[in-house]
Amino acid sequence: DTAVSQTPKYLVTQMGNDKSIKCEQNLGHDTMYWYKQDSKKFLKIMFSYNNKELIINETVPNRFSPKSPDKAHLNLHINSLELGDSAVYFCASSQEQAVGGSPLHFGNGTRLTVT
Amino acid sequence: AQKVTQAQTEISVVEKEDVTLDCVYETRDTTYYLFWYKQPPSGELVFLIRRNSFDEQNEISGRYSWNFQKSTSSFNFTITASQVVDSAVYFCALSEAKTGTASKLTFGTGTRLQVTL
């Protein structure tokens, strides 16, 4: 059973379109994340939700809107796609403990290509 | 601000050689966590290890070992007797200790390890 699953795996679309990436985790974790990996492999956090509440919101354009219908799901909707949005987007989850620092379990990534 | 530096962009070794991947970090926190992740050519991110700032014991897991030295702010990763399957990009990451909400990982830029026959 896949622990953190994202769909789709590949997404090719044109500039100006709106698209969504879905993420589901079956680990029972309370916290979910979206990370972006650019063409140079640099990984940067975008958002984090804990029990459906937004906890981390980095300086991401407001064209990106995460939605968490329940603690097992965290979707990412992107409006008016731009060429610079092309990247691999990773969903992750963790079970936060009292002392923090829990390891993140990542999905397999969604490669978004904007043409 | 937290920062993780992986100065080695790419390393090439021949199978069975030992290889060490360097990681140097900066943080003002006294309590923090360090991680290593592996990203094979297939693209997924695989968690390898987590250390907290109070535990400086070295750790060994099979052919993998980690050397945490607080005095030099380093958390280096050694692969003994490397194999072709070890070829991947390896990321070091740092997280501050925050209670019960979310772990914000700061990643290094990664080291690409190429193991050839």
Phi, psi (5° rounding) for residue A107? -75, 180
Answer yes or no: are the C-beta atoms of B78 and B105 closer than 8 Å.
no
Those residues of chain A that have pLDDT short of 70 are: 1-2, 97-100
Q: How many CB atoms lie within 10 A of CB A19?
A: 17
Residue B99 has pLDDT above 60, yes or no: no
CA distance A56 to A32: 10
Q: Each residue of A53-84: pLDDT tens digit?
A: 888 888 789 999 999 999 899 999 999 999 99
Answer yes or no: are the C-beta atoms of B94 and B2 closer than 8 Å.
yes
* Residues in chain B whose Cβ is within 8 Å of chain A: 31-33, 35, 37, 39, 42-47, 50, 52, 89, 91, 95-105, 107, 109-110
Taking Cα atoms as reference points, which of B19, B9, B117, B7 lies closest to residue B77?
B19
Q: How many CB atoms lie within 10 A of CB A66?
A: 21
CA atoms within 13 A on the CB side of A82: 6
CA distance A15 to B23: 38
pLDDT more than 90, % of chain B = 74
pLDDT band for position B1 (cuts 50, 70, 90): confident
Q: Which two tokens stand for residue A53?
A: 């509440």
Residue B86 has pLDDT above 70, yes or no: yes
- Give B65's DSSP letter: E
CA distance B46 to A8: 20
Backbone torsion region of residue A51, taken as left when φ is above 0, otherwise alpha when ψ lies between -120 and 50, otherwise beta: left
Q: Which of B30-34, B74-78, B88-92, B106-110 has the lowest mean pLDDT?
A: B30-34
Cβ–Cβ gap B44/A42 under 8 Å: no
CA distance A112 to A34: 14
CA distance B37 to B44: 10
- Give B15's DSSP letter: T
CA distance A108 to A91: 8
Answer yes or no: are the C-beta atoms of A56 and A64 closer than 8 Å.
no
Q: Which two tokens stand for residue A66?
A: 């995460």
- Test the B interface: residue of A43, A46, A49, A105 with most B CBs within 10 Å: A43
How many interchain CB pairs under 8 A, A with B? 85
Cβ neighbors of A80 (< 8 A, separation 6 or more) are A16, A17, A18, A63
Minimal-distance CA residue of chain A relative to B108: A42
